[in-house]
Chain A
Amino acid sequence: MSQALAAARPMAAARLRPLEKLAEAGLLLAAVFSVCVTAGIVYVLVSEAVPFFAHPDVTVWKFLTDTQWTPLFADKHFGILPLVSGTLMTTAIALLVAMPVGTVIAIWLSEFASPRLRDTLKPVLELLSAVPTVVYGYFAITAVAPAMQRLYPGLPLFNMLSAGLVMGLMIIPYVSSLSEDAMRAVPMLLREGSYGLGANRLTTAVRVVFPAALSGIAASYVLAISRAVGETMIVAIAAGNQPKLTLDPTEGAATITAYIVQVSLGDLPHGSLEYQSIFAAGIALFIMTLGFNVIGAGLRRRYRQAY
């Protein structure tokens, strides 16, 4: 019996070994594939934008400083600033909604709500960011913008304010869930120390837990900003599509993402200057979000290390 086993084992192992190697190679390939996706993104953005910047009408300097963006008109200007201002304006409005609301909800979930309530409410709140953005766009122009028009007579239907407000509702879960995670990672010891000194719940939450989790909370803000900057359909539907260098939220404007959508909807020939311009806009967008993501990841690492 034991002899038979001893004879069978090397045979079985030998039969299995090639399969083992094959499986590992296949799994490795799948993991490497994700790097190829990133490489593909960088390759496409750069290879399509290089001819754009090489065009005689465009220079990198003009791209960064010109105050008009009119690639689709006869008098072409390629200044990214109006698109950047539109992007930052809608993002700022969204954050003005999502930051305070999300933070208060996070503190409440982490320090006040019962564990059962918290476990139920968190996934339900996350439904806010599960709704497709095109549906949010519909909400923005059919419900929110008309309501805003009643509040501010004379407001155009397509404006940055209502697009930003709806976007704010969408990104609340990014702030509330990530901040709550960060606050719950704060060791009980700190809370007990605070209670021991006679502090009440709110004081403990605001003066002890909140500062202790600050880097994680900041990370949630930064990731929410990144989300808002890259958000497309809400602004493409509801913010209007005229690139305009303005800081007035009641006006319509175009964001980087909305411009890309607007151009894609038309039928532009491959290789034309207008076609290349969406990749230049894409690079600007990619760099902005990458910057925010790197800062956010750094902040998250910091709070993970702290405790």
Chain B
Amino acid sequence: MHDLDRIIRRGRRNDRLFNVLGATLAVVCLTVLGVLVAQLLIAGIPRIDWQFLTSFPSRKAARAGALSAWVGSLLVMLITASTAIPLGIAAGIYLEEYARKNWFTNLIEINIANLAGVPSIIYGLMALGLLVYQFRLGQSILTAGLTLGFLILPVVIVATRESLRAIPQYMREAAYALGATRLQVVRHHLLPYSAGGIATGVIIAMSRAIGETAPLVTIGALTYIAFLPPAPFSPLPAGPDGASPGMYGPFAWIMSPFTVLPIQMFAWVSRPSSPGNDFAPNAAAAGVILIVFTLGLNAAAIFVRQRVRRRVKW
């Protein structure tokens, strides 16, 4: 009897110990991340001011800024979003709602699963060989945006499929019974119902793209850009004779060389500092902006997911 008592008590004690161990590890992980982020904030926030946001990079750490980097990030994200979001949602709809079960659909599905596991730097190599040299798009904002678009395509597809799959079959059947065509079912019912889930996936995908560095280094992003891409309809630089040569087209900026925030941060992190010319605060400041973006987007995704879950009751 006493033995049984002891065994039970030991079991309970082990349960409690493991409970504490698991909770502690989870807290420790988050604390380590918290401490590292706090250090980054302490080192970076004092450096973020108007001058930092409106200056080009410079050899003097105190005069350098992230203007070309954040403008570049924004423009690259614009291209990425406008390729990956429509393509990814369309592919997701096809695979979930249209595709018949055959070897071809199977091939596409296996392919997407494998694409999701390809390291990001491999996308960079692909873009370097294909987009930069074969298609002659150069080391431009367009190339960078497309590269990141390809990279997040599987994420958008998977998110679209999962939120479409969550819609019960009877919603489709009801619409068909009322005479809706397939496209009408998709447009009037499936897309609105799955919008929340798709949005969550898209936000997560964009937050991943905005922090990506390796593929853009590979395609040859520059780390020292002291100009902005030409604004639509801005005047071209005057020729030697001083005559006005006209203006840039509305999309001239997509062929412009670029840099982005993570690459600017990488350049500052790996730059040897000398006394009085320390680039570490600049790196930290760029890191703060990056982390605010990525963690902000992730928080938004969690928020959207919670709201969708609460609202939708099938």
The answer on a CB contact under 8 Å between A134 and B211 is: yes
A232: chain B residues within 8 A (beta carbon): 119-121, 213-214
Query: For residue B111, which residues in chain A have a CB less than 8 angstroms away from its CB?
Result: 34-35, 38
Q: Is A109 an interface residue (CB 8 A)?
A: yes
CB < 8 Å neighbour of A107 from B22, B93, B220: B22
* Distance of A33 Cα from B284 Cα, bound (Å): 38
Which residues on the B side are within 8 Å of A200 (C-beta)? 8, 11-12, 14-15
Contact B122–A169 (Cβ < 8 Å): no
Chain A residues 221-238 with CB under 8 Å of chain B are: 223, 226, 229-233, 236-237
Q: Does B280 contact A (CB under 8 A)?
A: yes
**Cβ–Cβ < 8 Å partners of B298 in chain A:** 123, 126-127, 130
Q: Say if the beta carbon of B32 comes within 8 Å of chain A.
A: yes
With CB as the reference atom, state the residue of chain B lying closest to A38. B111
Secondary structure of the A side of the interface? helix
Instruction: Decide: B29 and A31 in contact? CB cutoff 8 A.
Output: no
Residues of B within 8 A of A112 (CB): 15, 18-19, 22
A198 to chain B, nearest CB (A): 9
CB interface residues, A 27-58, toward B, < 8 Å: 27-35, 37-38, 40-41, 43-45, 47-48
A299: CB under 8 A from chain B? no
Write out the residue numbers on chain A whose beta carbons fall within 8 Å of the beta carbon of B265: 134-135, 138
Q: Is B98 close to A, CB under 8 A?
A: yes
Contact yes or no, B212 A27, CB < 8 A: no
- Report the separation of the CA atoms of residues A13 and B154 in the bound assembly, to the nearest whole angstrom: 34
Render A202-216 as a binary contact track against B, CB cut-off 8 A, 1 for contact.
110100000000000
Given contacts A130-B295, A172-B29, A257-B214, contact A108 B19 (CB under 8 A): yes
Cβ-defined contact, B130 with A34, below 8 A: no
Q: How near does chain A come to B285, taking the closest CB pair, in angstroms? A: 11
Question: Contact between B121 and A44 (Cβ–Cβ < 8 Å)?
Answer: no
Contact call B291/A261, Cβ cutoff below 8 A: no
Within 8 A of B (CB), among A255-282: 257, 260-261, 264-265, 270, 278-279, 282
A34-B91 CB under 8 A given contacts A41-B123, A278-B125: yes
Q: Is the CB of B181 within 8 A of A16?
A: yes
Q: How many residues of B contact A (CB 8 A)?
A: 91
Given contacts A31-B91, A32-B108, A112-B22, contact A264 B220 (CB under 8 A): yes
Q: B19 — which chain A residues lie within 8 A by C-beta?
A: 108, 112
Contacts of A43 in B (CB 8 A): 130
Q: Which residues of B contact A128 (CB under 8 A)?
A: 29-30, 33
Closest approach, in angstroms, between the C-beta of B257 and any C-beta of chain A? 13
B198 to chain A, nearest CB (A): 14
In the complex, the number of residue pairs spanning A and B with C-beta atoms less than 8 Å apart equals 265
A63-95 CB mask vs B (1 if < 8 Å, else 0) is 000000000000000000000000000000000
The interface size of chain A toward B, counting residues with CB under 8 Å, comes to 88
How near does chain A come to B170, taking the closest CB pair, in angstroms?
A: 22
Q: Which residues of A contact B87 (CB under 8 A)?
A: 30, 33
Give per-residue flags for A122-152: 1 if the beta carbon is below 8 A from chain B beta carbons, else 0. 0111111011111101110111000000000
Residue B36 CB within 8 A of the other chain: yes
Contact of B117 among A26, A48, A289 (CB under 8 A): A289
Bound: A142/B183 CA distance, A: 54
CB of A261 within 8 A of CB of B117, answer no
A113 proximal to B (CB < 8 A):
yes
Chain A's nearest CB lies how many Å from the CB of B136? 11
Find the A residue at minimum CB distance from B134. A44
From residue A148, how far is it (CB to closest CB) to chain B in Å?
Answer: 14
| CB-defined A-B contacts under 8 Å, sample of 10 | A27-B93, A32-B108, A109-B26, A133-B214, A134-B269, A135-B265, A143-B36, A200-B8, A230-B121, A289-B119
